[in-house]
Amino acid sequence: MLLMLHDLQSVSQRGINGLSLGAIYALGAVGLTLVYGILKLVNFAHGEFLTFGAYMAYLVNVTWGVPLIFGILFAIATTALLGVALEKLMWAPMRGRGAGMLQLVLMTIGLSFLLRYGIQFVWGTELRQLDVNVTDTVNFLDLRIGRTQLIVVVVGFVTLVATGLMLRMTLLGKRMRALSDDLELAEASGIDTSRVILWTWIFAAGLAGLAGVFAGAVTQLQPELGFELLLPIFAAVILGGIGNPFGALAAGVLLGIVIEWSTFFVTPGLKLAVGFVILIIVLIIRPEGILGRARTV
């Protein structure tokens, strides 16, 4: 392997960086693919959910001077509330009127601009930083791991595992999968589809809010934060199999690691391009994605 030409410490260090990036991609991708799997809605405003969550954490953590843990909880709650509000005010009425996919996609694009420029209007375009010590590190096996980065990896993966268990083992998760297979049949069988859809938005938007906080913690906050993450998040959704949250999880992590390792061979400015080249190759070989199959959640 080409990676063997580099010392193990460098490979491991960038692997850790990739895990933190992959956790952010996976959190965003799982939420995005949940919405598509159940509602068949391609949400181009999903990136702005990440940005919204990051700025909600900033409001609590920096503006109000409250510890970041409360900022994270506030970000998850308010972003989930945003998802529910949009479902009630936009998506449910549009579905009731028989809106087509093109109309809904155009609405998500418009919504993304509205949210992005709304955030820009309130907080401006300058770079902002959460109250975290990005230079604080933990030494482990000669690796210097940023404490913030370590928290992102651990909390991110615990959250993803918990989400996976919810989808597999709880009644709500089973109902979500039933709606993904056939929404009309699920409704005919007595499932309260409106309630399940609301919970889908709560999980999808909440995960996006958490991903946004993590992205802001390891980098900086600016109104384009989520928009810049949207393409690799979409890539993870497609790579893992559209509508498959478990595939999105695996693909998000894989994409993060590969993108970071690619900087051994290409300049950092081209590392995202490497991820998309891999996406194209995988789709040529396996068009349904890594874990994709016909209509699944």
Is the Cβ–Cβ distance between 21 and 157 less than 8 Å?
no
Whole-angstrom distance, CA of residue 266 vs CA of residue 262: 6
What's the pLDDT tens digit per position in 27-41? 999 999 999 999 999
What is the pLDDT, as a whole number, of residue 6? 56
The whole model's pTM is what? 0.92
Is the Cβ–Cβ distance between 260 and 272 less than 8 Å?
no
What is the pLDDT, as a whole number, of residue 297? 47
Residue 98 class from Cβ within 10 Å (0-12 exposed, 13-18 middle, 19+ buried)? exposed
Whole-angstrom distance, CA of residue 226 vs CA of residue 115: 11
Highest mean pLDDT among 1-15, 99-113, 133-147: 99-113
Whole-angstrom distance, CA of residue 295 vs CA of residue 297: 7
Lookup result for tokens 């503006």: 63
The full set of domains in the chain, from first to last, is 26-121+136-285 (1.10.3470)
Mean pLDDT of 204-212: 98
What's the pLDDT tens digit per position in 62-93? 999 999 999 999 999 999 999 999 999 999 99
